[in-house]
């Protein structure tokens, strides 16, 4: 297969991190772009990591095996990270750090699970894509191709993708994306809360009451054992942050939503770091560990924060 043409060097040269959209149609379209991208990388001794769904992994392995390069490509099971998009950036950081230490140029392919994600998860996937430009702006050089199947991905997700990818693979050529917009991310409103199991105003000295409220709601909806203990650690961290940084108090609402348990916290504080909770804490770091831990424990974490409007943190745990 003839490698796609690449953008010229010079004034139009790519930045250290090349974030590229690949809008394709169906399985054959996916294979055409992904295989050519990989073969082009291997031809120049670049290391390649592929993070796609299991069905795409099987197709891609078969296609690469026929050309004899399958063993030169690393595949990762994104399912092992769970459904929380907040865990994806640290995983890419870890892999890039290892690859750079090996002294090899780096390429990756990452396709988000748009077809199986809930509406809330799709919103966080959109935010994850936008955050990639920010978090890897000063990273060692690497190239990430993000495939989107235009026959299945919802229009809003595809439109958002066109805005946050500076580059694109289109008609067999790699180049600038004319629809890219370097602008702040526009969050969708959180879905309306379900019928709250309970609403609790909390302040200093009330962390045990917060845990008791969550335990009561969780027991009513069938969340027990280790999963409940993980949720209790997470809600303690969020409530403690409210007391410490959010004006000394906050409000907790808990409810069940189908096969999900939701705990929502609101306080008067403001979280200014868009990567809060999505960067692995370093040894000796002062602060910033609470939201990181929350992301590792919960199936989904949604944060909405603005000056004058306060901060809402919504934690979701799957019951099954």
Q: What pLDDT is attached to residue 233?
A: 98
User: Domain 198-318 is of which CATH architecture?
Assistant: 2-Layer Sandwich (3.30)
Give the mean pLDDT of the chain. Answer: 89
Q: Where in the chain is the domain with CATH 3.30.565.10?
A: 198-318
pLDDT value at residue 68: 67
Most confident of 77-86, 104-113, 289-298: 289-298
Confidence label for 15 from pLDDT (cuts 50, 70 and 90): low
What mean pLDDT is predicted for residues 72-94? 85
Which residue intervals of the chain bear CATH 3.40.50.300? 17-176
Q: How does DSSP classify residue 86?
A: G
Residue 273 has pLDDT above 80, yes or no: yes
Q: Is a pLDDT exceeding 50 seen at residue 1?
A: no
- pLDDT at 77 exceeding the cut of 80: no
The confidence score (pLDDT) of residue 225 equals 96
Query: Of 303, 299, 211, 307, whose CA–CA distance to 265 is shortest?
Result: 303
Alpha carbon distance 270, 68 (integer Å): 53
Digit-coded pLDDT (tens) for 115-130:
889 999 999 999 999 9
The yes-or-no verdict on residue 22 having pLDDT over 90 is yes
Checking if the pLDDT of 229 tops 60, the result is: yes
pLDDT for the residue numbered 7: 39
Report the percentage of the chain scoring pLDDT > 90: 72
**Is the Cα torsion angle 269, 277, 111, 115 positive or negative in sign?**
negative
SS3 at position 230? helix
The pLDDT value recorded for residue 82 is: 76
pLDDT at 38 over 90: yes
Q: Which fold has domain 17-176?
A: Rossmann fold (3.40.50)
pLDDT at residue 53 tops 80: yes
Condensed to tens digits (0 to 9), the pLDDT of residues 178-204 reads: 999 999 999 989 999 987 778 999 999
């Amino acid at each position: 297969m003839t490698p796609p043409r690449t953008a010229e060097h010079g004034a139009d040269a790519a930045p250290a991190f090349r974030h590229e959209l690949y809008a394709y149609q169906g399985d054959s379209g996916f294979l055409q772009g992904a295989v050519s991208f990989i073969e082009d990388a291997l031809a120049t001794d670049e290391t390649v990591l592929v993070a796609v769904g299991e069905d795409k992994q099987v197709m891609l392995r078969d296609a690469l095996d026929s050309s004899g390069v399958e063993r030169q490509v690393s595949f990762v099971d994104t399912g092992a990270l769970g459904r929380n998009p907040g865990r994806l950036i640290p995983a890419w950081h870890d892999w890039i750090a290892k690859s750079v230490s090996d002294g090899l140029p780096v390429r990756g392919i990452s396709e988000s699970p748009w077809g199986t994600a809930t509406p809330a998860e799709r919103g966080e996937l959109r935010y994850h894509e936008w955050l990639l430009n920010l978090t890897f702006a000063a990273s060692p050089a690497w190239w990430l191709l993000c495939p989107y199947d235009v026959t299945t991905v919802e229009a809003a997700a595809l439109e958002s993708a066109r805005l946050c990818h500076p580059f694109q693979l289109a008609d067999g050529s790699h180049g600038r994306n004319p629809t890219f917009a370097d602008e702040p991310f526009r969050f969708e409103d959180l879905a309306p809360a379900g019928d709250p199991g309970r609403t609790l105003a909390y302040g200093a000295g009330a962390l045990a009451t917060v845990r008791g409220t969550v335990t009561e709601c969780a027991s009513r909806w069938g969340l027990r054992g280790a999963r409940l203990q993980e949720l209790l650690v997470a809600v303690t961290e969020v409530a403690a942050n409210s007391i410490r940084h959010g004006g000394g108090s906050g409000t907790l609402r808990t409810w069940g939503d189908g096969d999900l348990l939701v705990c929502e916290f609101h306080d008067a504080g403001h979280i200014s770091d868009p990567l809060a909770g999505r960067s692995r804490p370093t040894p000796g770091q002062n602060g910033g560990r609470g939201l990181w831990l929350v992301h590792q424990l919960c199936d989904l974490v949604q944060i909405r924060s603005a000056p004058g409007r306060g901060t809402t943190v919504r934690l979701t745990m799957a019951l099954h």
